[in-house]
Each structure stands twice: as C-alpha cells, then as structure tokens.
Amino acid sequence: MTKDTSARQPKGIPVGGQFTATSHSEPDVSLTAPKVTSRGRTTSVTLPDGTVATRTSKSREYSHAIVLSPEVPELVIANREARIRSAQAAISAREEALKDPKFTKRRRFRDDRDPDVDHKGEPVYYGFEYNLMSADGKEILETMRGNSKGDTQGCYDPETLDYDVKQVGRVIPQLKLHTQEAMHRAKETITEAEADIKSVKEGTYNLGNYGVPAWSSRLDLAQKAANQYAGWTRRATVTAVDQ
C-alpha cells in the first residue's frame, strides 16, 4: 500500500501560492470561467487597484479571496505611537531599576544533576537564571543564565556593548550591561518610529500594495482567515473571486 505523503492544509484555507498581484493588462475581459491547465484550475480576483491575483489548484474550487490592503496611514501612525510609548516605558522602568538594582536567582532544573557541568563533565552556564527586578520587585525586567557560582558565558563589552558569545564573565555585571543594551535598542525603536510617523505625514512612507495571502472555498472560513491576517496597520477583507 502506498503511503500518502501529501502535505495537509486546514480545510478551505490553503497556505502558499501566488500572493503577489500581477498586472491586469486586459481589464475589459470578462473572466467567465476559471482557466484549467495541467497544473490545475486557476482562480482570479480583481483587486481594488485594478491588478489581478491568481491561485492555481488541482483539488480546490475557490469562492473567496482574503485581500490585504496597503498600510493605512492613520493606522501606521497609531501603531508607531504605541511603539514609542512602550519603548519609553521600558526605558523608564530599567533606569529606575538600575538606581538600586534588585536581583533574584532561580535554579532551572529540579533534579540531582550537577547544574554546573554537562554529561561529559564540561562546565556549563545555564543551570540558573539571574533576574533584574523592577524597582517595586514585582516584575522581571531582564534575565541572564549562569552557573551556581555566578558566572555566565556570553559577555558585553562595557564600552561598545558588543557581544562575545564565547567569553565567560560574572553574571550580575553582565546582566546590568545586558539591560543597558536593551535600553539602547528601545531608543532605536523610538527613533525609527518617529521617522516613520514623519514620513507618513510627509507622504513619503511606502504603504505597499494590495495582496492576497489566502484563498478559501467557504465564506465562513474566509472570514475567519481575514480576522487572522488583519495586521496592526493593514485591513483584511473577504472578496468573491471573479466569475
């Protein structure tokens, strides 16, 4: 008996295929029936910008397409403003915590093995978690792994914050540097978000194009997929395929 090795997809919502819309060179042509070739049945949908997206399948007859819009300017701005607020809160919490740092230590494995060596007897630096707590002690802000003696593998340069994965050092000083590096990344997030907001307002931000990430043979499954595909800055709608 031959074993079926074909990939299984969720019913009615295939993954993959041709997501990118193609130019519709003959907009006045009526697509009265799907085109059938040796590759299967090709279904088309005309997008709001006049381009046509297609999907070919040997086993499905699609009735609906999930259409993603270009990014919406007001949603992009709202998304970037939320990123800025989140990054600012992260920086503030870490700055406050580093004024009078509180650390906790937790063993990761609850068994009889030596947490500081592997099965070959070689030293390891992941048996314990060391956490930097928030100023009120209620939240873990940053975590670094180490051994029972307070050593860790993977260290930051204190001047450049460059990371050396092989270097061994003391976990608490490295956890502080790790926190500084996280704050640096948060500041970069703010800078990038502010630049995006500016370019949206100036009309130079690339909002992208319409696209079809998924097709469905049932309306209810198409709507469910649309809810999943809708992003922070894009709108997803269900559109009937061309007839």
Residues 123 and 161 grouped into a single domain: yes
3-class secondary structure, 13: coil
Identify each DSSP E strand in 88-162 by its residue range: 103-107, 128-133, 140-146, 151-156
93 and 198 assigned to the same domain: yes
What pLDDT is stored for residue 217 in this prediction? 94
Q: Could you tell me if 197 and 77 are in contact, meaning their C-beta atoms sit under 8 angstroms apart?
A: yes
- What is the DSSP-derived secondary structure letter of residue 143? E
Q: Measured between alpha carbons, how far is residue 153 from residues 112, 118, 127, 242 in Å?
A: 23, 14, 12, 59
Do 86 and 104 belong together in one domain?
Answer: yes
- pLDDT score of 60: 87
| 161 and 184 housed in the same domain | yes
Identify whether 48 is part of a domain.
yes
Do the domain assignments include residue 232?
yes
Q: Is the Cα torsion angle 97, 103, 109, 115 positive or negative in sign?
A: positive
Assess if residue 13 is contained within a domain.
no
Same domain for 54 and 77? Answer: no
Q: Are residues 54 and 123 in the same domain?
A: no
Q: Are the C-beta atoms of 146 and 113 separated by less than 8 Å?
A: no
Quote the pLDDT of residue 160. 94
Residue 26 placed within a domain: no
Q: Which DSSP category does 114 fall into?
A: -
Distance CA 219, CA 177 (A): 52
pLDDT of res. 38 = 60
Asked if residue 159 and residue 135 are part of one domain, the reply reads: yes
Domain count, the chain: 2
Report whether 160 contacts 85 (CB < 8 A). Answer: no
Q: How far apart are CA 114 and CA 148, in angstroms?
A: 10
The mean pLDDT values, 10 residues at a time, for the chain of 243 residues are: 48 46 39 57 94 92 95 97 98 98 95 90 96 97 97 96 96 98 98 98 97 95 93 93 84
Residue 2 lies inside a defined structural domain of this protein: no
Q: Indicate the length of the chain as a whole number.
A: 243
**Does 50 map to a domain?**
yes
Cα–Cα distance, 160 to 154 (Å, whole number): 15
Chain centre to alpha carbon of residue 85: 19
Q: Is residue 9 part of a domain?
A: no
In a domain, 27, yes or no: no
Burial of 186 (0-12, 13-18, 19+ CB in 10 A): buried
Q: Which range marks the domain in which residue 188 is found?
A: 73-202
